[in-house]
Structure formats: structure tokens, C-alpha cells
Amino acid sequence: MKTVRERSSQRGKICQPTSNTLPIFKRYDRKQDGRDLFIYGTKCHNLPWQKELPPLSDKPQSHLRWHPLRQEWVCYAVHRQNRTFKPPAAYCPFCPTRTDILPTEIPYRDFEVAVFENRFSAFAAQAKTIPQLSIDSAPAIGRCEIIVYSSVHEGSLGTLPLKHLELIVRVWRDRYQDLMARESIQFVMPFENRGEEVGVTLHHPHGQIYAFSYIPPVVAKMQQAFREKPILQELRQTMGREYYLFNDDRVLAFVPPFQRYPYEVWLTTHQFHPGLWTFSEAEITSLANTLSQVVRLYDRLFDRPFPYIMLLYAAPKGEESYFQFHIQFLPCLRTADKLKYLAGCETGAGTFLADLLPEETAARLRQLRDEEKL
């Protein structure tokens, strides 16, 4: 294991192991507009810095306004109206910069995993001037990051090699530890939006990481539920194996008996963990393998790339004794060519009208799993 720090000859920034035990390296650079850029890999990244995208002409300005009936903050980030929208593959901002003619967000010829502050961030680390209003308002403090899964423009979590998926899980863990250590941050949520059906405007395989200065309302409800009892541990023991999809000694993927979205799948661990930062190496491998199996199963369901929202839920600050880490996949397809839309009852009342029984979902996915030998 290398412990010596290696430096980029071009930028003079540090590339070093993220721990004394794992062969994972992190290179740090700062973009010309001040945003952080991290390159993660199984070896030290020392490729020279290429040309990068020029800074935006306008500085992002965001703020929060309190919704008195919903009892939640609404974030106003009007600069995001001008964010990149479905560029051709040749102009993808998440591909490596291979020529000075087409600079991207990642100014290297190649990389394994890249993380950088979102160019169109909804949150900011420092307080901004907020408008004087007749309702409660506040600065939109926090951080929004992009995690680019690989330098290859095509692919998904289901097509990446297992070792590369393990690297991504370790990157998530490192970002959790970095962001949660910041005094202003209360909750961190990595997530992935996949498919134009859920609003994706950039097709290079990537996810996002949002760090909140407050506890979002959905998480606050989870937080209270976990305080009352160990819900996921009890559910794992009582729901029955007919809901199981993939299960080993460490990680379980299952259809929740109370699913709201068609083909909804959750992942959790047999042992209690508040977040990835307490996972063993064996559990990281198991989680990576299970993630791959779930996404490959989804893609075989209708023989097409399957659109979904994937959400990683770890303990908010101070809730590490109660809150169980888990992952939720929320798909939006109910058939090969029909979307699940949130209409009046779901949006207006918060009561979901489910099109499929969880038992039918689990049976269909298990049948496909066995046919494909996943």
C-alpha cells in the first residue's frame, strides 16, 4: 500500500490514499471558478490538466422560502433554468477533456471516478443575500456535487465491472465522511436520476450528492419512525421470503410489501449500519454486487434501459444510533410503454394509487431473475 503523497506536475495538487488500509486514491484540484474537483481511482491519477469549461458569467444565487401549509422549505435557484439540456454526445460535459477544442467539466484525458461541485448548484457553502419578504426565508446553505461513474459515455451501474462498482461505493463513503464533517451540514443524500422519463438531461452515467443544512421533510418522517423502532430489521424478519430478490449473508434486495411505485426495490443490510462509513470490506463488495444485479434485472424487465430514481438514505447528524442505512429504487414504468404519473390524489393528498400488487411485482422479478440466472 502506498502512503507517500504524489503530486500533479501540472497543478501541484495532492493525490493521496483515502485511508491507510485501502488502495483508493483521491486527487484534488480547484477549478478556475473556485469549484472543487476530486478524481478517485485504484491508483494515483497524475495525468496533466487540459483545458476546462470557462466559468459562468453570473454567480448562482439561491434562497429558501418556508411553505406554511406543507411545513417545508422550498429552494429557489432560478439560475438553474440555464443548465445544460440534452447536448449531443460529442459535447457531453461529463466526458474527459481529450482536446482543447472541446473542454469539459473534467479536464483530463481519462479518469476512473470524478466528483465535482455542480456548476448549477442549488445550494452554496456561504450565506447569500436573501430577499426581504413577508414570509420566512433563509439562505440556501449546503452543497451539490456531481459524481461521474466512469469516463465512458455509455453504460450504467449494471454494466460496470464489480471492482469499479466497489470503487463507487467507496467514493460515496468518502463523500459522506467529508460532507457530514462540516458544521453546517445535517444530512447528505447521494442519488441517481436515470432516464429522460424522470427528467435526465445529461446521459453520461452519473449521480448527484446533495448536502443539506436542514433535515428534509421526507427524511424527518423516517427519522421519527426509526427512533420509535428498528423498522427495517423487523421488516426483514417478518415480511416473508416471497418479497426477496437477492440475498446473501450481508445485503438484502427486496420488494417492499407497501410499494408505491411499480417494481420498487429496496436494499438494506442484515447488520445495523447508520451509513456506508461503518461498512466492512465484505459488505461493500456485497452492496456493489447487489446494486449491479438489481440494475441488470431492471434492464431485462422490458429489454430496455430502465428509468428510475435511486436514493441512498443514511443517518442524519445525531441519528446514528437509530437510523438504518438503506437504498430505495423508485421506478416510473408500469409497463414497457406506460409511465406511472403522479396525479391529483398522489400530489394533492399524498395518497398513492398503486397499479401493481407488491406480491405480483416480487414474483415477476424473481421469475426473471431465475430465467436470466442473475
Is residue 111 included in any domain, yes or no? yes
**Average pLDDT for residues 256-267, to the nearest whole number?**
97
| pLDDT band of 22, cuts 50, 70, 90 | low
Identify which has the larger pLDDT, 367 or 200: 367
pLDDT surpassing 90 at residue 239: yes
Question: CA–CA separation, 11 vs 30, rounded Å?
Answer: 9
Q: What is the pLDDT of residue 128?
A: 76
Which of 45, 204, 206, 326 is an active site residue? 206
How many domains, in total, are found in the chain? 2
| Last residue in a domain, options 153, 183, 200 | 153
Considering the domain architecture, whether residues 238 and 363 belong to the same structural domain is answered as: yes
Q: Would you call 39 helix, strand, or coil by DSSP? A: strand
Query: In whole numbers, what is the pLDDT of the chain averaged over residues?
Result: 91
Q: What is the model's pLDDT at position 10?
A: 43
Residue 161 backbone phi and psi in degrees, to 5: -60, 155
Q: For the segment 147-178, what is each residue's pLDDT rounded down to a tens digit?
A: 999 999 999 999 999 999 999 999 999 999 99
For residues 186-212, average pLDDT = 94
> Within this chain, do residues 6 and 96 fall inside the same structural domain, yes or no?
yes
Cα 188 from Cα 175, distance rounded (Å): 9
Say if 329 falls within a structural domain. yes
206 is catalytic: yes
Q: Within a domain: residue 343?
A: yes
Alpha-carbon distance of 114 to 151, in angstroms, equals: 8
The answer to the question of residue 170 being in a domain is: no
**Does residue 263 form part of some domain?**
yes
pLDDT band with cut points at 50, 70 and 90 for residue 199: confident
- Domain co-membership, 242 together with 149: no
Same domain, 147 and 232: no
**Containing structural domain, residue 356:** 217-374
Confidence of residue 9 (pLDDT cuts 50, 70, 90): very low
Q: What is the pLDDT of residue 276?
A: 98
Domain end marker among 153, 170, 196 = 153
Strand partners, 252: 247, 268
Confirm whether 223 is domain-assigned. yes
pLDDT score at 373: 83
Residue that terminates a domain, selected from 98, 121, 153: 153
106 and 244 in a common domain: no
Whether 178 is covered by a domain: the verdict is no
Flag whether pLDDT at 12 surpasses 50: no
- Is residue 204 assigned to a domain? no
